[in-house]
Structure 1
Amino acid sequence: MLKIIKLYKMFRFLFFYTLSVITFCDFSCIGQQSFSGRIIESNSNDKGIPNVTISVVKKNYYSITNENGFFKFDCNKCTDSDSIRFSSVGFEQASFSIQSLPKNAMIKLKESNTILSEVKVSSKNNFFIDIGNIDKKSSSSLGSGFMNFGEELALQLPSLNIQEAYITKVRFFFRKIPTEKNGYKEPFKLNLYAVNENNGMPCISLLPEDILIRAEKSNKWFEIDISKYQISYPPNGIFISMKILDEDEYAYKAYLESVYSVVEKKRITKKRYLIPHLCNSVNIYKNLKNWKFSKVSKNWQKIDNSFGTFMMGLKLNVFE
């Protein structure tokens, strides 16, 4: 009987010891991963690159550098086998495994030398045009009351009587909200969609990679150069979109706001999130259509444009 008790105690000790080792391994391999550092141009010793998209390969998790190229990246989805990708328009991508990435990294990106295709350097005459919304003033803005995490706003541009044109720049117009200070600088995901020939909704993305950007100006147009992708303007039109990331994709900043509740008949405190406020124009463009992707219905729906047209647009390089 004494031998049985000893064997039982030994078995119990080995069981819990093994379990603790496995648990420790799980938490150490799949726990919170934190990185910080700076991304600079390879031909410069101290010139930071702003708005670099930082993403976990094959996972929906993103961050972005500030105006001086500094970043802090916290990922509770990361494992040691994951890779971190750094990408920015005008620069070559760089990827590192989490194991090889220093906790305080200095990463250099090379400028991309995009070679234009033969069709672009032909003897054809070319000129540039701005299409989409071109208003210089906004009438209102769309913020956290109109959009939620994971939702998307898009502007549909019609087909053009142009045989050959390439998208060089995308532009947006955001407004600074006094109560949110620098909320208009919060990052969002840029996208371009083809038009579904069957239902007229956005379908496949025309961009080869995720592009995370932030507004550089308030109450003014700002542009993003995407000429390196050499995206031709589709014959049946296109959708320009901005997407608010999911809550677990980016560490959104929250602030508390005092509002009056009609139901409770008193002022209550609500949590608000800083998101960029896209503007509507004063003029209504009948040939441009507002769209919204709802996370609840998981579908695109057309939005009434009687209150204004989303302030988005494109610059095209047209050949004739």
Structure 2
Amino acid sequence: MPFAKLLLSVFLLLLLLQPSFAQNTIKIQVINANNHHVPVVGATIQTIGRRYFMLSNENGFFELDQMIINKNDSLKITCIGFQAITIFVSDLLNHPLIQLKETTTELGEVNVYANESFKTVIGNVDSKGGNTMNLSFGDKVALFIPNLGIQHGYVTKFRYFAKPNFGLEDHYTEPFLIQLYSVDSVHGNPDKSLLKEALLLKANKRNKWNEFDLSQYCIPIPSNGIFVSFSLLNQQEYNYQEKYIETYSVLEQKRVPIKRVVSPKISFSMNIYKNLHNWIYREKSRKWSEFPASLGTFMLGLEVQVYE
């Protein structure tokens, strides 16, 4: 009898605590300040000074867990095409809405010519994804793209082919970093970063090319070519997505659930392009090395606005 009373007491206590647990999560929406009816999809929300971050969903919403984030924390909200802002968590408790202002593209550093212009896609242009490659946390891959005779042109879009894996059907939606590099004239490896900081992105189309607008950065194509890179975050930054997934067990001859930190994978096609060269950067060795072209070509690319 005493044991039964103890169980009943614990059960009642859990019922009493349940509402307070529910209140620990705050739902916040990110919207376009110029049009309040339009949600901002894929905005990055990061705690300043810590490794915790979130991404807004297809309706512009994300959730703050007050068990992890406290009201004295500051959040940095960024998204391509919008001005970054910083806001205190305490300011969101009573007004759970964030407004981002659109960034006006300034072409002051780009010479615009009076004659005709056109857009062209450079890099890997395959219509279908081949295989995918596993990367360790913090690793990068880069694809060298030659100039192709472009004298006056700048980058308008980054292109990445997202291919889901068997047993990891939703891993392709996890965030990754991109960067553009100049070419080392001596060794031919990625050299100086062309973006002030790597951009955090995530794909939303499976088995298709995903495109991201980079026109606001006004990056000209260097005469000796350009590198476009894809990299994973470190394991601590992916831990917020740690979850149980299903995979096939050879020993048990069936699909079993396992706990795994989910991260995206880089896709590559079996087509080998003469002028495109793969490079890989390992976090452990902290250096770039050329990846065998015989294995295929990383499915990365750029769209360029060309002025004739």
Compute the TM-score of the two structures, normalised by the length of structure 1: 0.77
Q: Is 1:233 aligned to 2:221, yes or no?
A: yes
* Contact 2:242/2:259 (8 A) holds in 1: no
Q: Which residue of 2 aligns with 1:147?
A: 135
Q: Which residue of 2 aligns with 1:293?
A: 281
* Contact 2:277/2:293 (8 A) holds in 1: yes
State how far apart, in whole Å, the 2-side matches of 1:35 and 1:299 are.
Answer: 42
Q: Is 1:253 aligned to 2:235, yes or no?
A: no
Q: Which residue of 2 aligns with 1:114?
A: 105
Moved segments of 4+, more than 6 Å: 75-81
Q: Is 1:170 aligned to 2:158, yes or no?
A: yes
State how far apart, in whole Å, the 2-side matches of 1:300 and 1:254 are.
Answer: 32
* Contact 1:51/1:67 (8 A) holds in 2: yes
* Contact 2:163/2:206 (8 A) holds in 1: yes
User: How far off is 1:59 after superposition?
Assistant: 5.5
State how far apart, in whole Å, the 2-side matches of 1:81 and 1:273 are.
Answer: 29
Secondary structure of the structure 2 residue equivalent to 1:141: strand
The higher radius of gyration belongs to: 1
User: How far off is 1:71 after superposition?
Assistant: 1.3
User: How far off is 1:118 after superposition?
Assistant: 7.0
Secondary structure of the structure 1 residue equivalent to 2:206: coil
Uncovered stretches (5+) of structure 2, i.e. residues with no partner = 1-23
What pairs with 1:31-180 in structure 2 (closer than 5 Å)? 36-57=27-48, 61-73=52-64, 83-102=74-93, 105-117=96-108, 119-142=110-133, 146-180=134-168
User: How far off is 1:316 after superposition?
Assistant: 0.7
Secondary structure of the structure 2 residue equivalent to 1:179: coil
State how far apart, in whole Å, the 2-side matches of 1:107 and 1:230 are.
Answer: 27
RMSD (Å), alpha carbons: 3.1
Uncovered stretches (5+) of structure 1, i.e. residues with no partner = 1-32, 262-266
* Contact 1:51/1:212 (8 A) holds in 2: no
Q: Is 1:315 aligned to 2:299, yes or no?
A: no
Q: Which residue of 1 aligns with 2:189?
A: 201
* Contact 2:112/2:307 (8 A) holds in 1: no
Identity of aligned residues (%): 37
State how far apart, in whole Å, the 1-side matches of 2:173 and 2:191 are.
Answer: 28
Specify whether residues 234 and 222 from structure 1 end up closer, same or farther in structure 2 by C-alpha distance, changes over 3 A only: same
What pairs with 1:181-192 in structure 2 (closer than 5 Å)? 181-192=169-180
* Contact 1:164/1:318 (8 A) holds in 2: yes
Secondary structure of the structure 1 residue equivalent to 2:293: coil
Deviations 1:220-262 (CA, angstroms, capped at 9, x unpaired): 111101101101112222211111111222313333545347x
Q: Which residue of 1 aligns with 2:266?
A: 278
Deviations 1:84-109 (CA, angstroms, capped at 9, x unpaired): 22111122222113454437721011
Secondary structure of the structure 2 residue equivalent to 1:129: strand
- 2:209 maps to amino acid: W
